[in-house]
Structure formats: structure tokens, C-alpha cells
Structure 1
Amino acid sequence: MLYTTYQVMDDIRVTLAPEVDRLYWRTRGQSIRKTGTTPSFGQAFSRATRRMSREPPVAGGAGTQRLEKYANHLQQWLGGQAFTREELDQALAVAGVAGARPDEGLQWLVLTGRAQLLPGVDMTGPAIRWRCNRCGAGGKWIRRGACAKCEKACAWCDHCIRLGKSRACTPIVLIEPASDPVAVDKVTSILPLLSDPQWDAASRCLDWLEEEGEELLVQAVTGAGKTEMMFPMVRRVLEEGERVLWVAPRQEAVREVADRLRRSFPEIRVAELHGDSGDRWVNQSIAAATVQQAVRFYHRFRLAVVDEVEAYPLREEQIWQFGVRRAIRNEGKRVYLTATPPKSWLNRARRGKRKLVTVPARYHGFPLPVPRLHRVWRLQHKTDRGRPIPVLERFLKEAIEQKGQVLLFVPRVTDTWRLLRWFDSRMPGLRAKCGVVSSRGGERAEMVRRFMTGEVKVLITTTILERGVTVPRCHVAVVGADHPVFDGAALVQIAGRVGRSAAYQEGEVLFISSLRTEAQLRAVRDIRECNRLARRKGYLSARRYAL
């Protein structure tokens, strides 16, 4: 495909469809002069002196009316989304939009200020300033080399390459939402009863929705029921005729929250977006998406709820926040949910730059289990040689006698097999009931399923299961808790696997290590402080409130 640049008055512009620009400017009494063509949109874009237009369409003949009708049709189906040029063709096929050539309708939207065309990678200035216009990455993520598409030296983004290549030679299409929101009288909802801390947090979130400020940090302990706290706010936004984006770090979390949203709002269609979903271009009022898929939206949502904001990849790659920010409208709001916020986030809230809502208690009103710390001299040597570790053996026997199940966390994948060999030597009767889960295991989902159904009594795992697993009769031990991979936040999350069910509060948390680390002490301090705050606020009860 060739991209054309032309001059009108004192401006140089780039176009997908020169005949559309010629017609557009003729209605304004202007003529255009072609200045060149190139197979690289990025090169054409760099020559332009005027890259956007804000003028409304002018009444004209049949050609103008045809283009306006088709452009409105495109915006109705595709508004509020971001596409590469190849993705736009896929989206049109899904939507079944027919009529004039898509480039003509798209160019009409650009000319009338309802869409933007940007190069996939902006190569303006020195290489250190090059940036991907889809995900916002720059610097080390931008690669340069020969391109078969434009047959020139080109740049592409490695950061979001799993979504398809974002190149300098092809455009990113950003289309504004089609219409203003229309309020509805009532949204049918089936919402759960809320406990005292949940209700207080939900009320404060509803108040914040009407206040100034773009960001809200909700710090809630593990098992507090953060998702349910957000539902009253989601309902309020839907009743205003607006849309909601729910962002989660993992596919499993997206599937779970999408199912809960469908059950709670049975008349609202929920789009589910992750690497294995088919809802990529579905236009719905609620979208549940992984952080990577959020880059597919543009000014679409009034509210974005970012769940587990401290988890990978948001914790390691803040770049993904670019997609979340661009997905919401200019006056939209963002809520960040976390049990273990970074200190910088808390400091920002204390300085008044981000509002903070704290939920120090679980929904069932029982206190958080406080970990017990045990030092075992030469712990790794004993596991490798099959030597006795009395505290671990006693912990396992008591957990099984109470008809419980055990999550054993270790720092490295190789440690999972070390611990299995230790079971062979020290507790052979329990070895047959053990399973292993790690990032290298090919049957992770099946092993987790067997653990959830009770077939497996002891599951040895790395930090891959530090969140997202709820087992009613769970006990937890961290073997090698002094390893750097177990920072304070990870240990708090791991301890949070215990005591999540109101029916079983006998579960214990054990940190076993050769050394006592600051991370272990900090995790214990944080958990105790939450229990003290919950007790002081009177949250350690089990009252419920209907919505």
C-alpha cells in the first residue's frame, strides 16, 4: 500500500485515500497538490506539518453524504478502539461492515477529527526517543532492521510483539467512541451481601466516583473480597450509560472475574479478552482484559479497575499502564486494587496525589493468620540429604490429621524436586499424595485441579501460586523463606492463602529458613497491623449488608 502526502494551504498532510481529501477540501473552497507517495506510513507522517483536523463535515453533494454515512457506520462499530492496519481489516470482517472501501470511511473520520492515524513506531528524533504508539514502550524495546513490507530500514516494537507487529511503516488507527452516554433507569444486578469493611469501602468508592481526582488506590488484605466491593461502583457507571474496563494480570483471573461479572449483571454482555479468547473486537459495556489486551482500546471507558496491580507484569513493566490510561475517556477514572502496594504508591496517597481506601479485614470477620517463624540450621543440606526437619514433619502430620491440605512454597523450580526426594526419604507414606507445580510444568492446570478437588494433599510450588488459589482447608509453609525471591509482599500474599473460608480457621502459616530476614519480619508486622486496625474499627465480626 502507498501513502500519499499533499499540500493544502500552508500545511502538508498524509492520507490513506487522496480522492477523499480532494472532495473534503473542495467543499471548503480549497484545492490540494500531491507532494509524494511512499510505502512507509512513518516516512509520510514525518513529512506532514499538520497531522490532525478538528473541522466538522460540511454539507455537500451525494459523495459527501455517502462518506459521512459510511464513516458514522464505521465509528458506531469500531469506536473506542485502537487497531493496526491489519487488525482493522479483521475487525471489519467480524463487524460485517460493508459499503465503500474502508480507507475512504476511515480517512473521512480522520479529516473530521473523529480518528487519528499514527505510525506504529514513531521514529522522530534520536533513537533513544523512538516510541511505540500502541503500547508506549521505547528505548531497548524498539528494534530496527530491513522490512519486507516497506522494503526499507524500519523499526518495530518488541514489547507488544505478541499482539502482532507494530511497525513504523504501518499506521495505528485510533477511533473515538461513537456517541455520548445515555443514562438508564436501572441496571439489573444480583450482588452479594457485603460485610462491614466491604460496605464501608464500597461507599467510599461511590463517593470518590463523583469527586475530582483520576486515581483511587484500594489497599485490601488478601481474602477481603475486593471484587465484590467494586460492583456497586460498576453498577453506578453502567446506569450512567458508560462502560467499564476490568484489567487483570493473568488469563485465569480474567476468566474468573468475567464469570463473576456475568453472574452479577445478567443482562449486560461482558467481553473477555486474553490471548486465547475470541472476543477481541466485540463491542460491549464491560470488558475484562489482561493488561496486554488493554492497549486495544481508545477513550472508551468511564472507569478502569486494575486488579492485582502489584503482580507481574504491571509491577515489573509500568509501560503497560500506558494502555490502561489511553483506554479511558479524558474525564475517566482508574481504581487500583492491591493487598501489597509499593511504598511509592502509599507515599503518593499520603501526599494527597492519589486517594486511598484501606480495608484491613476479610469479608468473614476473622483475623488474618499470623505466620510463625522457624529457623532450621543448614536447611538446604537437610533437604538434599533427607535429614530430619522436625518442625516441617510435625506441621505436615498435624495438617493432614485435621483433614487439611498443604501448599509448600519453595524459591526455585529445582527445589520442588529436592523436596520431593526429601518426602521419599522422610515421609514415604505421604509422597503418593504430593504434587508439583512450577512454571516449567506442562500439566499445571491439571495438577491444580487435582489439588482443589482433594486428590492431592500436598502441593509443592514456586511463587507461581502465590495468588489466585483458594482452598477451603489450606495450610501453608514456605521452605527457604530467606531466599530473596520471597520479599515482604510475596510472603504476605502467600500467607493470604490460609483462612480465606469462614468455615475453616484452623489453617497455619509457617516460614522455615536458615536465616531470619527483614522480609519475614515485615510480613508479620504488616499482618499484625492489619489485625489491630480491623479490631480497632470493629470489623472482626460477620455482619452483612444487602446492596
Structure 2
Amino acid sequence: MNYQEYFEGKIQDRKTIHLPDNEIQQLVEQDLIVSYPGVKAITPSRFSMLKSPIFQCMRCQSTDPKKFATHYCLNCAKNCTYCRHCLSMGKVAQCTQLLKWKGTLSSIQDTPLFTWQGSYSTDQRRAVDEWIVSCNQGKSHLVNAVCGAGKTEIMFGAIQHLLTLNKRIAVACPRTDVILELEPRFQDAFTNCRIDSLYGGSEKPLGLGTITLATTHQLYRFHEAFDVVIIDEADAFPYSADQTLVKAVKKSLKSDGVIHMISATPTKNLLFDTETVLPRRFHQHPLPVPRYEKLLTYEKSLKNKKIPPKLANWISKQIESNCPFLVFFPSVRMLEEFPGDLKRVHAEHPMRKNYVQLLRNGKIPGLLTTTILERGITIRNLQVAVVGAEQAIFTKEALIQIAGRVGRAADAPTGDVVFFHRGVTEEMHRAKKEIEKLNAL
């Protein structure tokens, strides 16, 4: 039996490993795997202000006291502390036995073929070449490129070079929607290559793929597995706001591994050695500039199950013109209050993947959505409206990303981006000015 396939590069709950206890014990004695508790109590130092033990989850590395709870555990028949931070991935408690491979990792078995049929613009070629230089130097690299610059295709060029160096690669994205968008494009670009796609509810294969596409949360499951981790949309929530996800990325890297990042709206806290900037789209057309429309009583109207006339007219115009559209709302509550039978999606919606595909295939006219679709969605001739653009959830970065959904195709490089509001905010103003600045460059 190939035990290595069960364990290498991953942190796993003993209960998920279908091997007899005596075989597990034998591997521990042979120093091929290590076993440790899922949650560890750390005794505060005598200089600490804390008097009670500090807990650390050994899967997600959280030490936030608010993320732990203690209850009577049926598994160990005593009071037992468990981690609530990564509970959605299965309970990890003090009595949980985590297993980790200590032996060497297997080499890449397949011979990947780079079968992408596209061609690069001058800017894209420059970006690939600069990224390859960073790869050869072992330096972390940021690709700072506007929405629609062709970041995925640029990433293909860097990955193709890394594969010639026999590197095992993870591409981590904060959101499932981006993984679902990337998966078929990677399968087409890298044939004869094992590509694993990991997100909530996905199949968890044995062993390690040559390329792993994963939400950042899925990296909690890995330990020293990858030579390179590429973080797509590195500024996006939740990765940008959760230090345990940053730790998870570092934990998933080999000791000499390197992190690369891609973003259209990089924040100041991103750390990197070298940077490539692309201020224009691959088709050379300017970014669509948002326009403002006052919509003073939209909340009251929606509560009364009425669509504000300006918004109703905008939606009707898109349907009459046969243009696919997205209407962004600041909350799930407001999304659900919207009258009519237009499909709507949010983070927990079970049909989210299906509805996006229906929109892409032209089977439905448009979607109502929260900010969950602000990134990773490419649909030809898409038009976009934001309702309540003045609300706090619509930061400058979010508004730039939303506007970036429009005009991405070379044969449809324009489109409408409208911010419906009841007062122009500084974030709205900064987003528009940033887009105009990029166009001027």
C-alpha cells in the first residue's frame, strides 16, 4: 500500500483516514507520520496578564479566545475544548488526533503540456517575463493589473515556467466562484496535468496534484506541500482580514517555498519583493467609468415591495437590449426584498454556481447579487448597477472590482456601470478617480 498517498503534504483528522490502528501506529513508530492533538492548551507565562490557558488550533493556527468553546464531548467522555474558527471543515478538538506526513514528498508524476492557444499583448509579455525573473530568483512577486488586463493568462505563462522547474503549485483564491471560473480554463491550458480543485463541498482526492486550485480556507489542510503559492485577488475578503489564512498559506509552503500575488486593487499590507504594474486592459480599450444616479428612497421602496422607477427602467433597458446584467445590493435582506422573479444569489445560496452559468449561457437575463460576485466573473457584454453604492460595504476596492466586470471582451469593450445612491461618498469618489487615473496612464 502507498501510505504516502494518504498523508503527504496534508494535515488530517485520524477519523477520515480509513486505515487500521495498528498500521497507523506502525507509521508513527517508523517516524513517517506524526500524531498530535487538534487543539493544544498553552500555559501562559508567569509574566502574562492572562490567568487561564490559551488554546491553539493545530489545523488553522487560531489562538483567538473567542474562537474556542468547551463542552462535554461524547468522543472522549469529558469536558473538551474545540475550535469554532474552522468548524465548517469538521470539528477539531483536544481529543482529535491529527496526522501529518514526515517523510519526503513524491515527485511530480505527470509531464504537463502547455496547450493554451492565445497570444500575449506587449504588456502581458512584459508581465510574464518579469514574473519569470522573480521565479528564477526565488523572490515573491506581485502582479498589479487592472480588471480585464488578462491576469489569468499572465499567470499561465509563469506557471508554465514553474512546471519546467518541476515545482508543485497552489493557486489560492478567497472565493469559491473564482475557483469555479478558473478550473475549466486551467484544464484547457495544462493538459496531461493533474489539477485538483478544492472548495467547500468539493471532493478531497488522495495525494497531491501538480496544480492545486483552492480557496484560501482549504489551505488549512496542508503542511509544507507546495513550492509556490499564488494568491489570486490577494486583497479580497476574507484573506485580507484573517491572519489565520495568511498563516495557512505560509504553513502550506515548503521551507524554501515562495508566495506570489495577483490583484487589481492591492492594499498596502501586501508584502512582496518585486512588482509588475499593468494599467490597461489586454484589448487596449479604457476601463468603463462609473456614473452616478440618485436613488433617495430605495430602501423604503424595496421594503414596500416596489422597484424604484429609475432602477426598473435600467433593468428593462438591459432586457430589451438583450444585455446580461448584474445588480449589486448591500445586504441579503435587501436582495430578498426585491420584488419579481429575477434570480438572486448570495454567499450561502445553494444555486449560486448554476445561476451564474445560466447567465453566462444567456438562459436568464440577469442576476441580483451581493458583493459575492464582485470578482472572478467574466461574462461578455455584461452591464452593472450598484444599489446603495453609498453604503459602507461598497469600499473603493469593491466598487473598482464591480466596475471591472464590464467591458472585458475585445469585441464588447464598453458597457454601463451605474452607482445608484442617496449621496456620493468618498469611497465612490475615490473609485471613480482611480479608474480615470488608470485610463489616463
TM-score (norm 2): 0.87
AA partner of residue 99 (structure 2): V
Do residues 121 (structure 1) and 39 (structure 2) align? Answer: yes
1:318: Cα distance to partner? 2.5
Q: Distance in 1 between matches of 2:180 and 2:331?
A: 28
Q: CA offset at residue 478 of structure 1?
A: 1.3
1:418: how far off?
A: 5.0
Q: 1:443 to 1:118 in 2, by over 3 A?
A: closer
Question: Distance between the aligned counterparts of 1:287 and 1:413, measured in 2?
Answer: 31
Could you say which residue in structure 1 is the equivalent of 2:28?
106
Residue of 130, 146, 159 corresponding to 1:204: 130
Residue 466 (str. 1) matches residue 374 (str. 2): yes
Deviation at 1:331, TM superposition (A): 0.6
C-alpha deviation, 1:248, in angstroms: 2.0
In structure 1, which of residues 156, 159, 162 is the aligned counterpart of residue 85 of structure 2?
159
Radius of gyration: which is bigger? 1
Aligned to 1:241: 166
Look up the match of 1:310.
Answer: 235
Are the aligned partners of 2:169 and 2:226 in contact in 1 as well (CA < 8 Å)?
yes
Structure 1 window deviating more from structure 2 (240-249 vs 278-287): it is: 278-287
Within 1, Cα distance between the matches of 2:266 and 2:115? 30
| Change over 3 Å in CA distance of 1:381–1:277 after alignment to 2 | closer
Deviates more, 1:270-279 or 1:495-504: 270-279
Q: 2:14 aligns with which of 78, 81, 85?
A: 85
Give the Cα separation in 1 of the matches to 2:206 and 2:27. Answer: 18
Of 141, 146, 152, the residue aligned with 1:216 is: 141
Q: 2:345 aligns with which of 412, 433, 437?
A: 437
Equivalent runs, 1:44-83 vs 2, <5 Å: 74-75=3-4, 78-83=7-12
Q: Using the TM superposition, give the Cα deviation of residue 130 of structure 1 relative to its aligned residue in structure 2, in angstroms.
A: 1.8
Whether the 8 Å contact between 1:302 and 1:331 is mirrored in structure 2 is: yes
Deviation at 1:101, TM superposition (A): 2.0
CA contact (8 A) 1:74 1:106 kept: no
Contact 1:237 1:302 in 2 (8 A): no
Q: 1:79: how far off?
A: 2.3
Choose 370-379 or 134-143, whichever is displaced more. Answer: 370-379
2:192 pairs with 1:267:
yes
- Residues 118-155 of structure 1, C-alpha deviations (whole Å, 9 max, x = no match): 32111021456321111111122122233333333322
How far did 1:517 drift?
0.2
In the alignment, structure 1 residue 371 sits paired with structure 2 residue 290: yes
Q: Assess if the C-alpha contact under 8 Å between 1:146 and 1:154 holds in 2.
A: yes
- Label 1:281 to 1:392 Cα distance change in 2 as closer, same or farther (>3 A): same
**Range with greater deviation from structure 2 (371-380 or 138-147):** 371-380
| 1:370 CA displacement | 0.7
Letter of the aligned partner of 2:43 in structure 1? Answer: G
Distance 2:312 2:200 in 1: 42
How big is the alpha-carbon RMSD for the aligned residues of Structure 1 and Structure 2?
3.0
Q: What is the SS of the residue equivalent to 2:262?
A: strand
Q: Is the partner of 2:197 in helix, strand or coil?
A: strand
CA distance in structure 2 between the partners assigned to 1:237 and 1:478 by the alignment: 40
Relative to structure 1, the CA distance from residue 202 to residue 394 in structure 2 (aligned partners, 3 Å threshold; closer, same or farther) is same
Q: Distance in 2 between matches of 1:410 and 1:150?
A: 46
The one of 413, 432, 435 equivalent to 1:524 is 432
CA separation of 1:342/1:128 partners in 2, compared to 1, >3 Å: closer, same or farther?
A: farther
Q: 1:456 to 1:75 in 2, by over 3 A?
A: closer
Unaligned 5+ runs, structure 1: 1-69, 94-98, 421-430, 534-547
The alpha-carbon distance between structure 1 residues 375 and 301, as it changes in their structure 2 partners (threshold 3 A), is same
Q: Supply the distance in 1 between the matched residues of 2:162 and 2:90 (Cα, whole angstroms).
A: 32
Cα distance, 1:199 vs structure 2: 1.6
SS, match of residue 204 in structure 2:
coil
Counterpart mapping for 1:163-202 below 5 A: 163-176=89-102, 178-179=104-105, 187-191=112-116, 192-202=118-128
Q: Distance in 2 between matches of 1:387 and 1:286?
A: 48
**2:152 corresponds to:** 227
Structure 1 pair 229/128, CA: closer, same or farther in 2 (3 Å)? farther
Matched residue, 1:481: 389
Equivalent of residue 490 in structure 1, options 372, 383, 398 = 398
Q: Which amino acid in 2 is paired with 1:355?
A: T
CA distance in 1, matches of 2:85, 2:302: 40
TM-score by length of 1: 0.71
Which structure's relative contact order is higher, taking Cα pairs within 8 Å and 6+ residues apart?
Answer: 2
SS of aligned partner of 1:130: strand
Query: CA–CA distance in 2 between the matches of 1:458 and 1:181?
Result: 46
1:244-255 correspondence runs (5 A): 244-255=169-180
Against the structure 1 CA distance between its residues 364 and 517, is the aligned structure 2 distance closer, same or farther, given a 3 Å change threshold?
A: same
Which moves more between the two structures, 228-237 or 326-335?
Answer: 228-237
Alignment equivalent of 1:339, drawn from 255, 264, 277: 264
The alpha-carbon deviation at position 222 of structure 1 amounts to 1.6
Residue 76 (structure 2) aligns with: 150
- Are residues 1:515 and 2:423 paired? yes
- How many residue pairs end up in the alignment? 432
- The amino acid that maps onto 2:3 is L
Q: Over residues 141-183 of structure 1, what are the superposed CA-to-partner deviations in whole Å (9 max), with x where a residue is unaligned?
A: 1222333333333222111122222222333222145258589
**Which residue of structure 2 aligns with residue 500 of structure 1?**
408
| SS of alignment partner, residue 337 of structure 1 | strand
What stretches of structure 2 of length at least 5 have no aligned partner?
45-51
The structure in which a higher percent of residues are helix is 1
**Distance change in 2, residues 1:418/1:358 (3 Å):** same
Code of the residue aligned with 1:488 in structure 2: it is K
Q: Report the alpha carbon displacement of residue 382 of structure 1 after superposing the two structures with TM.
A: 5.8
Supply the AA of the counterpart residue of 1:416: L
- Give, in whole Å, the separation in 1 of the partners of 2:259 and 2:332: 36
In structure 1, C-alpha distance between the alignment counterparts of 2:252 and 2:389, rounded to whole Å: 39
Task: Tell me if structure 2 keeps the 8 A contact 1:291–1:320.
Answer: yes
Give the superposition deviation at 1:498. Answer: 0.6
Question: Quick one: distance in 2 between partners of 1:514 and 1:269?
Answer: 50
Confirm or deny: 8 A CA contact 1:298 1:328 kept in the other structure.
Answer: yes
Percentage identity across aligned positions? 29
Instruction: State the Cα distance separating 1:377 from its structure 2 match.
Output: 4.4
Instruction: Check if 1:410 corresponds to 2:323.
Output: no
Please give the alpha-carbon distance, in whole angstroms, between the structure 2 residues aligned to 1:304 and 1:365. 30
The answer for the alignment partner of 1:32 in structure 2 is none
